[in-house]
Amino acid sequence: MALIKEPDLGTPGRPGEPTVTVQVDGMSVAVPEGTSVMRAAALTGIDIPKLCATDTLEAFGSCRLCLVEIDGRKGTPASCTTPVTEGMRVSTQTPKLEKLRQGVMELYISDHPLDCLTCSANGDCELQDMSGTVGLREVRYGYEGENHLDAPKDTSNPYFDFDASKCIVCSRCVRACDEVQGTFALTIEGRGFESKVSPGAGGSFMESDCVSCGACVQACPTATLQERSVVDLGMPSRSVITTCAYCGVGCSFKAELRGDQVVRMVPYKDGGANEGHSCVKGRFAFGYATHPDRVLRPKVRERITDPWREVEWDEAIGFVGTRLRDIQARHGTGSIGAITSSRCTNEEVYVVQKMVRAVFGNNNVDTCARVCHSPTGYGLKQTFGTSAGTQDFKSVAKADVIVLIGANPTDGHPVFASRMKRRLREGAQLIVIDPRRIDLVRSPHIEAAHHLQLAPGTNVAIVNALAHVVVTEGLADLDFAAERCEGFDEWAEFIARPENSPEAVEPISGVPAAELRAAARLYASAPNGAIYYGLGVTEHSQGSTMVMGMANLAMATGNIGREGVGVNPLRGQNNVQGSCDMGSFPHELPGYRHVSDDAVRTVFENLWGSPILDEPGLRIPNMFDAAIDGSFRALYVQGEDIAQSDPNTKHVTAALEAMELVVVQDLFENETAKYAHVLLPGTSFLEKDGTFTNAERRINRVRPVMAPKTGKHEWQIVCEVAQAMGYDMHYDHSREIMDEIAATTPTFAGVSFDKLDKLGSVQWPCNESAPEGTPIMHVGQFVRGRGHFVQTAFVPTEERSTRRFPLILTTGRILSQYNVGAQTRRTANVVWHPEDLLEIHPHDAEVRGISDGDTVSLASRVGETTLRARIVDRMPVGVVYTTFHHPVTGANVVTTENSDWATNCPEYKVTAVQVGLKQSASGRSAEATARDLQTLSD
């Protein structure tokens, strides 16, 4: 496909029907009220020259290039800032306008380096284009006058340069940072001729608050802000529309290429999830795909202590098939299983669960969602009837009160965070429920109305207290509960009990009762109240209970079934939703249908020609337990690094060591591969051909920009393993796998690659009654018929702080790194986060003699690790925080076997720990500091 240049209509569209009719150069067009003259003209096919205007930003009116003449009006107004009125007659090309525009361009060009032929933006420069468009032929002022040509170049950012000598001070970068990203890192410093773009207080980009989202680079009309890769490689010549492989937002990108070399990833304006925005990971951190660490040939070894032996595909696949069958012959059908990956496509995941069920003959398949959002699947299915979020991302633009629980979207889901921040700047209220003071509590132009800084492990007490206020203060939507739900009266009686009151919960959670009551009233009285949540909800011993508690709260206030409301999980990885949809759980076939359902099993049995067990299989933690007790002997791991990502590393590695065969299918030789007997090289998202499903149930195409570097697609590998085990699994193309999914799974019945290519994306359910998908769920009726209120009693976690382990550790992620870091650690993103740090409150640090940057030990009852301390007051006293992006830290060495009661999702968010000084940053020994502390204490 040739290079895709998306049309730029100059100013953003306005909602509503096209009720205002205008004439532009004699062409009639009807547009919604509030539309600019520039956009109306563009809709008739007339591009008015412009430099400071672009349709992703509100009009600014500074460049004076888009002037027009309007019948009956004096002067030459800027078309970008002039709204249309009924009957308006506009002229965009007159001798007067031509002269004015040429004059403007002359001034710009007189202070611009005339190095077009060697400029990195040659051929992709709006200044260059406009010079041609306005017919500029001479610059009467010459080029010797005062100018900015010696302005310094800022190369501090690893991904883009800022060449101030080429800047025309159009403010598009500043406005993009403000309006699109919402970071407000850039400003225009100085006045008149001295005015210039400045990151923050005048330092470099890297010293500023810039989060490297790329919005400024995208907005820049010249080469002032330019991707380093374009400078190095030149302009791309073709585009492929595909989907980011990082977080669950699932942004659409144009992969812009020269041959099969990716020059840059540009966010796609027509992408339903991101609408032209991006973050530092998706925009820039794609270099891992061609990193020399990639494993490109299969490897095999008899014992995990042996060196690897590179082999041909046939030998590796034969080895896997033979060993798996041999183990089953000796230890039984249920002695083997597989784990699917949320980083793989729907098609790749589907074939793994098919292999397990049809070829292995058991249901021992699980997915990495087990350790993140499995409680979402359980909780939302129990209450609403299906295991997915209720809204599309756009819906947040209609929310009046947003409750953000256990999520940090500016780091974990940055592109959605930008949408949320835009709505908050428009006046929506925010309630943050999190032990940590995340950035959204207070950031430029945003301040949460309430930050309920609860003690880790008390989520359910808090959500019950909020619901208690709703019920006891008469704030419930009784009509909604009566018409749409069941079990309300029993639940209301339960939730109204004194033990659920804010006053009873205050000593448990540490949240003042008055603050809780105020937050509950704010949410319940909002025209539209929306709940968004993350792993701070699910990764608890009561993760599933909390999900049901939030669903109760939303139903009790009638906040379900329309725009601006809902209960919405922010999924961690790109295809968490999809991997769950595809039947990766050991109790469910594709489409969340239980394996005990005879009718559903029959559909698959007839198609696959194999009987399917009607009993659930092992979940990931159960697999580890069974490996240690000897009944589970072989594991096929698709694209997951369980030795780094799963809790209680010692237990995980003991389980892996106990198995006879561990097969790892991955891009890199990861931590799990140390315990593997076979390493099957996987493909990056740039090689995959399939679909991802994001957190809003949006099914997006993942299109290859290059052939698999390994010689095989991942679904082909699985098919060949199945064949080696004696089962004929074969597809000619991944589209055939999606066709099989559609044929067997009612919520996907209308999905096909052809439809996705035509519509761009669809949100499931996509079937006869919703042929173009379903952006908002539970409209008019819940999937299960009536919404089900569940009594959610608060049960404290077994994990308590003790004298030996007096602090509580909670874990999370940061913006620049992703999950176990296998991808982002192999990019320049390491400049922002080269190591995992332990965030600790100044008081907790002081009593331990710890200073910022000191090396500390972090110990729990299951293990100990070492990392450096960062002293921050965003943590409450008694709670410490770290990330798990670096294997050298091994944060999961200390996390425990505790898990959610319903799903076994690990309790990553609550671990009792002790922190001690190991080595001060100044070189002072821990012993010397301990002596000083003792002296002070004495």
The tokens 């002269």 sit on which residue? 99
What is the sign, positive or negative, of the torsion defined by CA atoms of 899, 900, 904, 907?
negative
Minimal distance in Å, beta carbon 901 to another protein? 5
Which residues 6+ apart lie within 8 Å of 479 measured at CB? 558
Minimal distance in Å, beta carbon 592 to another protein? 12
Question: Cis before residue 765, ω within 30 degrees of 0?
Answer: yes
Minimal distance in Å, beta carbon 898 to another protein? 9
Say how far residue 802 (Cα) sits from the centre of its chain: 36
**CA-CA distance, 930 to 279, in Å (whole number)?**
44
Q: Is 338 helix (H, G, I), strand (E, B) or coil?
A: strand
Minimal distance in Å, beta carbon 517 to another protein? 23
CB 408 within 8 A of CB 421: no
Nearer to another protein, 798 or 835 (CB): 798
Which residues 6+ apart lie within 8 Å of 515 measured at CB? 450, 452
Nearer to another protein, 550 or 902 (CB): 902
Nearer to another protein, 584 or 883 (CB): 584
Nearer to another protein, 253 or 632 (CB): 632
Nearer to another protein, 367 or 545 (CB): 545
Which residues 6+ apart lie within 8 Å of 268 measured at CB? 6, 241, 251, 252, 253, 254, 274, 276
Q: Is 785 helix (H, G, I), strand (E, B) or coil?
A: strand
DSSP state of 817: -
Nearer to another protein, 540 or 677 (CB): 540
CB atoms under 10 Å from CB of 384, counted, come to: 26
Nearer to another protein, 472 or 903 (CB): 903
Residue 200 CB-density burial (10 A; 0-12 exposed, 13-18 middle, 19+ buried): middle
Nearer to another protein, 42 or 600 (CB): 600
DSSP state of 275: T
Q: Which residues pair with 451 in a beta bridge?
A: 432
Minimal distance in Å, beta carbon 473 to another protein? 23
For 560, the token pair is: 């379900």
Minimal distance in Å, beta carbon 374 to another protein? 10
**CA-CA distance, 241 to 669, in Å (whole number)?**
29
CB 363 within 8 A of CB 616: yes
CA within 13 Å, CB half, 779: 11
Pairing of strands 20-24, 89-91: parallel
Minimal distance in Å, beta carbon 290 to another protein? 41
Which residues 6+ apart lie within 8 Å of 459 measured at CB? 405, 406, 433, 536, 537, 540, 542, 546, 549
Q: What does residue 221 show for φ and ψ, rounded to 5 degrees?
A: -85, -5
Minimal distance in Å, beta carbon 888 to another protein? 29
Q: Is 812 helix (H, G, I), strand (E, B) or coil?
A: strand
Nearer to another protein, 250 or 334 (CB): 334
Nearer to another protein, 149 or 793 (CB): 793
Q: Count H helices, E strands: the chain?
A: 29, 39
Minimal distance in Å, beta carbon 823 to another protein? 32
Minimal distance in Å, beta carbon 795 to another protein? 5
**CA-CA distance, 823 to 817, in Å (whole number)?**
8
The tokens 């597809």 sit on which residue? 731
Nearer to another protein, 494 or 685 (CB): 494
The tokens 């067009």 sit on which residue? 29
Nearer to another protein, 175 or 619 (CB): 619
Minimal distance in Å, beta carbon 632 to another protein? 9
Nearer to another protein, 488 or 715 (CB): 488
Minimal distance in Å, beta carbon 615 to another protein? 5
Minimal distance in Å, beta carbon 499 to another protein? 9
Minimal distance in Å, beta carbon 618 to another protein? 5
Q: How far lies 117's CA from each of 5, 32, 727, 761, in Å?
A: 21, 42, 60, 39
Nearer to another protein, 409 or 617 (CB): 617
Q: Is 894 helix (H, G, I), strand (E, B) or coil?
A: coil
CA dihedral 240, 242, 245, 248 (to 10 degrees): 160
Site of interaction with another protein (CB under 8 A): 334, 363-364, 494, 541-542, 545, 586-587, 594, 596, 615-619, 621-622, 625-626, 629, 631, 791, 793, 795, 798, 897, 899, 901-904
